[in-house]
Structure 1
Amino acid sequence: MRASRLLSLLLLLQSHGRMTAAQLAQRLEVSVRTVYRDVESLHAAGIPLYGEAGHAGGYQLVEGWRTRLTGLTAEEAERLFLAGLPGPAAELGYGAVVAALQLKLQAALPPALADRALRLQQRFHLDTPGWYADGDASPHLAAVADAVWRERRLRVRYRSWSGEVDRVLEPYGLVLKGGRWYAVANRPGRDAPATYRINQILALTTLDEGFDRPAEFDLPAWWQAHVVRFRAQLHRDDATIRLSPRGRQRLREVASDVVAGAAEGNAGPPDAAGWVTTVVPIESLTHAHGDLLRLGAEVEVLAPAELRAMLADTAVALATLYRPEPPS
């Protein structure tokens, strides 16, 4: 713990400049006497640290002196934030850089901190893709990431809902959502960026043209607002359904949180067999048809009539397909 505290004291002075013993003690949650002892230890270790008495006094490092992790390159420092996500880092083309960075960090840390870092790595693992998919695979992801970093325009052949289209894009950022990579990019002459799923890029050329990324553009804030807009437009109608006890449980596993929450919140009292009638939001008849089929005979659609008819037709088709052949 003391080695960790000494490093924290050093980094506090490096970040904030002059600080009093009382300020350091408050930040480190120790006594002022402990701060005095720690400062003496840093002196003994050769750290150029000095103190001044008086009202405006305090401890500070010699001007121009900064601690650094030996061998840490500029590229490794830029990729430091990816160290906890080796899978996505590798997809972006930074796997080797992040691996080297982790080794250097482990070698540079004091033994107590290195042991703690290793324990954290062994106890917490981030696996971003969902259970039923490994995420997107795209040969163009690294090129898009490079264009984002260097602010270069891209010419892409893109598979959209309406078919294949050619676009020139100014990529503002990349987002990993549920194991899928998206580019947030603007088109020259447009006023607002849009999202483009990376694995739908069929061909890509990096142009020898730069662009000015708006200084006020905040990628996390923009993405959060985009998700809110997307969810608000996602469910445009309602369906009245009956769910068996098993169906209620399965719905929590296969449906979105919005649908599962609505089903529970709108559910009436169960009947003698445990079935409940409830109302759930749906995006479209086609999407609802596919989603509710996953529940099989554990759900009955009461309305709208078109959705009920679609499921009934599918049930008849399945029964015909799987009808046993009569014995010869």
Structure 2
Amino acid sequence: MSADRLLLTLLLLQTRGRMSARRLADELGVSVRTAYRDLDRLRATGVPVYAEQGRTGGYQLLDGYRTRLTGLSEGEARALFLTGLPAPAADLGLAGEVAATRLKLLAALPAALRDEATRADAVFHLDAPGWYGEAEATPYLPLLVDAVFGRRAVDVRYRRWREPQEVERRLCPYGLVLKSGTWYVVAAAGPRTATYRISQILDAALSDERFERPEDFVLSDYWSSYLDDFASRRYTGTATVRLSPRGRERLAANVPPEVVRAFAATATPVGADGWTEAVIPTESTEHARGELLRLGTDVEVVGPEELRRAMADAARALARTYGDVGPGGTEATQGA
């Protein structure tokens, strides 16, 4: 019989009020028979639990009774910062600790504040991943959680974009970051601190080596610096483009925020038909062509000439593919 489950039963009754044995069993993941047995054992320890019969009946605590047994375990303390993030908590293997932590926090609140917290929980929900993409598999994420908290090095086999694609590293993980639904580990590999995409870890095992995280290392500061450096390395050129009014409306849905901000900062009206010209950052000719083609006829590349030619080549290729399609959507027939 689990003492933790007895405490959770007590806290459920304290935070939820009257509950049926079936509802308690569902909350705790046990059978109804086990829930009845736990309730009897609570009463045997002196907890004033009583039952009300009838269709709306159930078990509840005597009015005014409150337990002070709300101390957090080590795992629950880890989960404290994730109490509003159930999906990331599940990724990290902390779903159970998060549920228990939320319950203990609610139990520690006065009734009025508890009701307010419950109402807030009912009207806010965070869904971190972006649209049009499947969640990445991260089977080694719980292991990395243990490594971060235990300050243990991890031996990994990692797949990267450049040759050789598969490499082996011993990482000293300093922290974990969730960015747009994708998990990253920030870790030292020898003298260098770097960022690794966890879905690209092919194999991982905890080592016996212990490490100390530098006292001056701040994960949020490192991540901000990493993003700035990534943007500076990512955008190596610029392009001058013109957008129609409809193109400007569609821009944010088709290009990264940095490009949208650059367009807004440099936008200049051209002509009387609402078109706007601006300078945007680009990664490469091929990448820029792919992004700008999404805007169709609502964009015109003014320069550089290499990108303008690439757009023209793509347009000619599309024309060759669809050139024989008539206005009704069927292939046009040639006259005799």
> Which TM-score band applies after superposition, normalised by the shorter structure?
0.7 to 0.9
The amino acid that maps onto 2:184 is: Y
- The answer to whether residue 259 in structure 2 is matched with residue 259 in structure 1 is yes
Where do 1:38-57 residues align within 5 Å? none
Partner of 2:172: 170
Superposed displacement of residue 110, structure 1: 2.1
Does the CA contact (< 8 Å) of 1:69 and 1:105 recur in 2?
A: no
Superposed displacement of residue 134, structure 1: 4.7
Where do 1:68-79 residues align within 5 Å? 69-70=69-70, 72-79=72-79
Where do 1:174-185 residues align within 5 Å? 174-185=176-187
- Greater mean deviation of Cα atoms: 144-153 or 250-259: 250-259
The amino acid that maps onto 2:285 is: L
The amino acid that maps onto 2:182 is: R
State the distance in 2 between where 1:268 and 1:108 align.
58
The amino acid that maps onto 2:128 is: T
Where do 1:142-221 residues align within 5 Å? 142-162=142-162, 163-188=165-190, 190=191, 192-221=192-221
Where do 1:84-99 residues align within 5 Å? 84-99=84-99
Partner of 1:10: none
- The answer to whether residue 332 in structure 2 is matched with residue 307 in structure 1 is no
Find the residue that maps to 1:154 and give its secondary structure: strand
Superposed displacement of residue 307, structure 1: 1.0
TM-score by length of 2: 0.72
TM-score by length of 1: 0.74
Superposed displacement of residue 220, structure 1: 1.3
Find the residue that maps to 1:253 and give its secondary structure: coil
- Superposed CA offset, 1:229-256 (max 9, x none): 2223322211011111111111123222
Find the residue that maps to 1:193 and give its secondary structure: strand
Does the CA contact (< 8 Å) of 1:76 and 1:101 recur in 2?
A: yes
Superposed displacement of residue 193, structure 1: 0.5
Partner of 2:281: 281
Does the CA contact (< 8 Å) of 1:93 and 1:142 recur in 2?
A: yes
Superposed displacement of residue 298, structure 1: 1.0
State the distance in 1 between where 2:74 and 2:188 align.
28
Partner of 2:242: 242
Partner of 1:15: none
Does the CA contact (< 8 Å) of 1:170 and 1:185 recur in 2?
A: yes
State the distance in 2 between where 1:69 and 1:219 align.
33
State the distance in 1 between where 2:218 and 2:229 align.
17
Identity of aligned residues (%): 51
State the distance in 2 between where 1:287 and 1:166 align.
30
Aligned residues: 260
The amino acid that maps onto 2:85 is: L
- Greater mean deviation of Cα atoms: 149-158 or 252-261: 252-261
State the distance in 2 between where 1:264 and 1:105 align.
45
Partner of 1:119: 119
Does the CA contact (< 8 Å) of 1:239 and 1:304 recur in 2?
A: yes
**Unpaired runs of 5+ in structure 2?**
1-66, 326-330
State the distance in 1 between where 2:303 and 2:320 align.
25
What is the root-mean-square deviation in Å for CA atoms of aligned residues? Answer: 1.9
Superposed displacement of residue 290, structure 1: 1.5
Partner of 2:21: none
**Unpaired runs of 5+ in structure 1?**
1-66
